[in-house]
Amino acid sequence: MTVISKRPSLSADTFSLLWDNTVAQHSARLFLRFRDDDGAISEWTYGEFSSIVDKVAGRLDEHGVHAGDSVHLCLKNCPAFVALWLAIAKIGAWMVPSDPAASSRDIASQIGRVTPALGICGSERGADYRAGAQSQVITMPIVELGESSADVSAGGALMGNTSTSALELTHDPTDRLAVMFTSGTTSQPKGVVLTQGNYLKVATEMAEAAALDPYHRWFVTLPLFHANAQYYCFASAIRVGASVAMTASFSASRWVEQARELGVTHASLFAAPIRMILARTPGATEPLKLEHVWYAQNLAPAHHQEFSQLAGVLPRQLYGMTETIAIVSYDRSQPPRPDRIGRPLPGRAVKLLDPVTRDEVTGDVPGMIAVAGTRGKDLFLEYLDDTVTTSRSFLTDDSGVEWLLTGDLAKSDEIGDLSFVGRVDDVVKVSGENVSLTEVEAVIAQAPGVLEAAVIAAPDPIRDIVPHAYVVARSGANELDIDSLSSWAEKNLAPSARPRKWHIIDELPRTSVGKIRRFKIGVSES
């Protein structure tokens, strides 16, 4: 399947210029409303936050950060992160956002790879951060922040004595703006190199996809160091002059009430946080009246319907990666369906390829999603210092078009709507039958008393590979019984997809945005 359509041209060359243009047009409009963990709420207009960005850029200059330098950020959601991102873009430097829960070893690895001119971390984790930084033969200043509104208030740790507002700073769309390390769900993280043009592109396309207007307000509870919050929420809001409400941390039990308190209209989540919200929201909670919700990764039909009752709108599934910049596709069904990632965005060219032969598949055969585009514009530029992996990730066809090989599988129906199957490595053959571990997980998550599940492929002397399930119980549910789970699976899963072993565990290993790290799940053999 291949889809190509037209799209409008961009109105600015770089993300930094986009910010300046939006500030000029929407100076008095609300930009950011921030809720700290203590319940305190602060807010800034575009004009007010632009002044903060200029002061933060001045502070970076005082620390010796110049165009082309990198700044390593290890911060939880806070106004300082947003101000640093925009200030870094303004001076032509590039950021390396890191998981604030990263270990000293992970921090050391990143710092060793990007050699930053400055490191910025939360004071609560300052000792761990410094331990990681000091293990590298790199001398850089480190700034510790309280990760509250005080960081960007008058006299705050990030507020410089000078301002960049009077400087004439010019940038090229191909200038590096970020290196974002992937979540590492199946392997070690890769450094995704992103440009000023990438961030501009995602801002425009995600604003259009969400039909965003200036009066809309995104609700950001996912970590800001991740692409979802940056790409889909903040960047698109900046594109049209909309606002963002952000919490310092994610609370499943209070997600609905915080959304109401902050007056949001739009939200973007993953399936796992949605299941947590459903499991932990008090039963008498008044539903919201949101206008739009994106979500990624498969969600069971029952959970899709249940969450729509809480949110006040049926969520729409999308598909995208850090590397694809804007999403590749989203469900446009009326009403939205839980089993579709829909059709490609206007202008996207998408093929489904056989993972082995690279031939285009037809019918309802699953194929690997391949996305055409231009690196540094609507696709990421490259993997940091890894030409081999970068080369393997792209396929150039006979006409010279480059295709990003995503490693994700999808199926196409008769009208061209796509449904997500899973990662290439997540589809295994059990007695000759293809089994999607992702689809099995979505089915098991609907079993009575189950909050979530992870399914891995385990060796078997007869069938070569069989599914094993690791299950987490809903809080307050009666104790899960393996015999009951097995009986339930017999009624709801094909024979080849039924787990041969069940493990009831307290929690699943996952990334900061809720993705399950299957490679950290071991199979216990008796």
Confidence class for position 240, pLDDT limits 50, 70, 90: very high
Whole-prediction pTM: 0.86
- Percentage above 90 pLDDT, the chain: 66
- Taking CA atoms, 216 is separated from 15, 160, 243, in Å, by 21, 32, 7
Number of Cβ within 10 Å of residue 236's Cβ equals: 26
Confidence class for position 512, pLDDT limits 50, 70, 90: low
Residue 446: its pLDDT value, please? 83
Confidence class for position 524, pLDDT limits 50, 70, 90: very low
Residue 435: its pLDDT value, please? 81
Average pLDDT over the chain reads: 89
Q: What is the pLDDT of residues 444-460, one digit of tens each?
A: 888 888 888 888 888 87
Q: What's the structural domain count of the chain? A: 2
Residue 407: its pLDDT value, please? 92
- Which of 234, 231, 254, 232 shows the shortest CA–CA distance to 245? 234
Is the model's pLDDT at 440 over the cut of 90?
no
> Is residue 502, in this structure, part of any structural domain at all?
yes
Is the model's pLDDT at 4 over the cut of 50?
no
Find the CATH number of the domain harbouring 163: 3.40.50.980
- Which of 28, 25, 30, 78 shows the shortest CA–CA distance to 56? 78
Is the model's pLDDT at 8 over the cut of 60?
no
Is the model's pLDDT at 133 over the cut of 50?
yes
Is the model's pLDDT at 513 over the cut of 90?
no
> Is residue 222, in this structure, part of any structural domain at all?
no
> Is residue 405, in this structure, part of any structural domain at all?
no
Residue with structure tokens 């995600």?
206
Residue 450: its pLDDT value, please? 87
Cβ within 8 Å of residue 53, ≥6 positions away? 19, 83, 86, 87, 90
> Is residue 76, in this structure, part of any structural domain at all?
yes
Tokens encoding 482: 């393996």
- Residues 123 and 134: their CA atoms lie apart, in Å, by 16
> Is residue 206, in this structure, part of any structural domain at all?
no
Measured at the CA of 463, the angle between CA 438 and CA 468, to 5 degrees, comes to 40
> Is residue 37, in this structure, part of any structural domain at all?
no
Tokens encoding 59: 């502070």
Q: What is the pLDDT of residues 281-316, one digit of tens each?
A: 998 899 999 999 999 988 888 899 999 999 999 999
> Is residue 328, in this structure, part of any structural domain at all?
no
Per the CB < 8 A criterion, the answer to whether 31 and 45 are in contact is yes
> Is residue 248, in this structure, part of any structural domain at all?
no
- Taking CA atoms, 239 is separated from 160, 201, 467, in Å, by 27, 10, 45
- Which of 515, 452, 87, 79 shows the shortest CA–CA distance to 322? 515
Cβ within 8 Å of residue 285, ≥6 positions away? 256, 257, 310
Q: Which residue has the higher pLDDT, 143 or 299?
A: 143
Per the CB < 8 A criterion, the answer to whether 408 and 367 are in contact is no
- Residues 71 and 65: their CA atoms lie apart, in Å, by 8
Domain boundary among the residues 171, 193, 220 is at: 171
Per the CB < 8 A criterion, the answer to whether 288 and 312 are in contact is yes
CA dihedral 336, 318, 15, 8 (to 10 degrees): -60
Confidence class for position 362, pLDDT limits 50, 70, 90: confident
Tokens encoding 232: 């889909």
Find the CATH number of the domain harbouring 515: 3.30.300.30
- Which of 472, 478, 482, 473 shows the shortest CA–CA distance to 508? 472
Is the model's pLDDT at 108 over the cut of 60?
yes
Q: What is the pLDDT of residues 192-201, one digit of tens each?
A: 999 999 999 9
Cβ within 8 Å of residue 461, ≥6 positions away? none
Q: What string of H, E and C letters represents the secondary structure of 269-322? A: EEHHHHHHHHHHCCCCCCCCCCCEEEEECCCCHHHHHHHHHHHCCCCEEEECCH
Domain boundary among the residues 153, 171, 189 is at: 171
Q: What share of the chain is helix, strand, coil (3-state, %, to 5)?
A: 30, 25, 45
Structural domain boundaries, residue 62: 47-171
Beta bridge partners of 217: 243
Q: What is the pLDDT of residues 448-493, one digit of tens each?
A: 888 888 888 888 776 778 889 999 887 766 678 888 898 888 888 8
Domain boundary among the residues 140, 171, 202 is at: 171
